[in-house]
């Protein structure tokens, strides 16, 4: 995710903070320096604590998504925290719509439970909550009440049935139980765009902040919808459909200089090593670059560490792309399941990119 940085991890899941959180803290600090009549030093400290607790509550919100995802065996890459919510980047969207809506609903449910629990605590400490409830604002001066309202607003806002909000995912999952997944995504994206557009229009009339939220919803719905639909189209594309059948090999007896020549000739960044028709592994560009120019004429391929990673020709290119990204490779040797020692082609990252572009154009 761009414009975010890692701040820690939880249960092995990297946690990143989006720069907008820093902007929010800076805005609180700048307001405290302006000496505005309605914004005192006390109120600046108060708002600072509200922002800190907002960060904590967003973390719990996103962690709930991740816990449910891991319960279904889905890997969570990382969690990115925003002031108005967060994003749990998962390995793949569940095939079962019931699992998807449970994952999506877990975050808002956590926020609402926290909100009403804090509201209950606040009612015990402050029996007469009626004036505060009528105000329904996260800025009354009652810290527990304000944090309760903050969580309730966070939960309700994320239940808006618009991509990329959690409510949009729930809406898409409900539709997916009754129609094709791609069609359900299109309807959910369309609703997200409409609501985002309405928020922008209403924001021009009432509140500038609503314009920013509307733009976030509209752009997020468009981007995620496009990516989901592309992935759905590519799910049926096999490795054999886009692989290159002409393969250049090097033998273990060749020097590293000769291996580099084969790389340049075939326009690969990794060299496939074969002996007597049997695939032995790959010499990666990164390993070759560790060897000085003078030693490349002396050292042989057999003296280098080999990386033996393969992909079957009937696998999805989406699964193959995960391997390329995880192993930081530019090519993948393609083999048949009944003969994994014989390379029948190579899948390049460029070929996968071309397949993505074709799916996007369609």
212-241 per-position pLDDT tens digit: 778 777 777 776 676 676 666 676 788 888
Nearest Cα to Cα of residue 233 among 105, 62, 362, 63: 362
pLDDT in tens, 117-155: 988 888 777 766 555 555 545 555 577 888 888 888 888
CA 157 to chain centre: 20
* Nearest-angstrom CA–CA distance, 166 and 86: 10
User: Above 90 in pLDDT, residue 112?
Assistant: yes
Taken in order 234, 235, 241, 247, the sign of the CA dihedral is: positive
What span, in angstroms and rounded, lies between the C-alpha atoms of 329 and 318?
15
- DSSP bridge pairs for 16: 6, 80
Average pLDDT, the chain: 78
Q: How far is the C-alpha of 267 from the C-alpha of 248, rounded, in Å?
A: 10
Residues in CB range of 76: below 8 A, 6 or more apart: 13, 66, 69, 70, 88, 89, 90, 91
Task: Using alpha carbons only, give the angle 49, 54, 57 rounded to the nearest 5 degrees.
Answer: 130
pLDDT value, residue 209: 66
Residue 324: pLDDT above 50? yes
Helix (H) or strand (E) holding 267: none
Radius of gyration of the chain (CA): 27
Most confident segment among 1-10, 112-121, 179-188: 112-121
> Are 336 and 342 in contact, with CB atoms under 8 Å apart?
yes
Q: What separation, in Å, do the N-terminal and C-terminal C-alpha atoms of the chain show? A: 26
Determine the pLDDT at residue 237.
80
Position 28 confidence tier, pLDDT thresholds 50, 70, 90 = low
Q: Residue 86: beta bridge partners?
A: 81
Annotation marks residue 62 as catalytic = yes
Report pLDDT for 113.
Answer: 94
Asked if the model's pLDDT at residue 68 lies above 80, the reply is yes
239-361: in CATH 3.40.50.970: no
Would strands 76-82 and 13-18 be described as parallel, antiparallel, or unpaired? parallel
Q: Is the pLDDT of residue 31 over 70?
A: no
Task: Read off the pLDDT of each residue in 88-102 and give the average, rounded to a whole number.
Answer: 75
CA–centroid distance for 68 within its chain: 16
Catalytic pick from 16, 62, 224, 315? Answer: 62
Q: What does residue 146 show for φ and ψ, rounded to 5 degrees?
A: -65, -40
pLDDT at 1 over 50: no
What percentage of the chain has pLDDT greater than the value 90?
3
Residue 362 pLDDT:
61
Kindly report whether the global pTM for this prediction surpasses the value 0.75.
no
Q: State both tokens at 338.
A: 């009944």
Indicate the domain borders of the chain: 1-159, 167-235, 239-361
Return the sign of the alpha-carbon dihedral for residues 350, 322, 94, 168.
Answer: negative
Single out the residue of 47, 22, 276, 224 nearest to residue 147, CA to CA.
47
Bond preceding residue 80 cis, omega within 30 of 0: no
Cis bond upstream, residue 355 (ω within 30): no
> Residue 77: what pLDDT?
75
């Amino acid at each position: 995710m761009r414009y975010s940085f890692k701040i820690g991890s939880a249960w092995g899941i990297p946690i990143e903070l989006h720069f907008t959180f820093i902007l929010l803290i800076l805005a609180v600090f700048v307001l405290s320096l302006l000496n505005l009549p309605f914004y005192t030093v006390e109120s600046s400290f108060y708002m600072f604590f509200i922002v800190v607790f907002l960060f904590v509550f967003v973390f719990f919100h996103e962690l709930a998504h991740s816990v449910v995802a891991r319960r279904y065996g889905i890997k969570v890459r990382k969690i990115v925290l925003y002031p108005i919510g967060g994003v749990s980047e998962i390995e793949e969207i569940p095939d079962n719509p019931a699992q998807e809506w449970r994952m999506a609903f877990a975050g808002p449910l956590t926020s609402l439970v926290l909100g009403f629990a804090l509201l209950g605590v606040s009612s015990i400490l402050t029996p007469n909550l009626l004036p505060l409830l009528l105000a329904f604002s996260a800025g009354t001066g009652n810290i527990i009440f304000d944090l309760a309202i903050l969580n309730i607003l966070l939960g309700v806002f994320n239940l808006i049935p618009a991509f990329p909000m959690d409510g949009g995912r729930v809406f898409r999952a409900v539709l997916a139980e009754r129609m094709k997944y791609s069609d359900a995504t299109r309807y959910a994206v369309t609703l997200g765009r409409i609501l985002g557009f309405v928020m922008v229009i209403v924001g021009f009339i009432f509140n500038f902040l609503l314009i920013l939220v509307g733009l976030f919803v509209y752009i997020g719905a468009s981007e995620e919808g496009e990516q989901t639909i592309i992935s759905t189209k590519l799910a049926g594309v096999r490795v054999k459909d886009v692989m290159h059948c002409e393969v250049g090999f090097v033998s273990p007896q060749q020097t590293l200089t000769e291996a580099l020549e084969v790389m340049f000739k075939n326009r690969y960044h990794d060299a496939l090593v074969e002996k007597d028709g049997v695939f032995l592994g790959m010499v990666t560009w990164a390993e070759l670059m560790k060897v000085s120019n003078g030693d490349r004429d002396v050292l042989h391929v057999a003296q280098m560490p080999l990386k033996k990673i393969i992909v079957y020709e009937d696998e999805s290119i989406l699964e193959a792309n995960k391997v390329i990204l995880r192993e930081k490779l530019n090519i993948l040797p393609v083999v048949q399941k009944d003969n994994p020692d014989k390379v029948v082609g190579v899948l390049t990252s460029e070929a996968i990119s071309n397949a993505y572009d074709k799916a996007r154009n369609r």
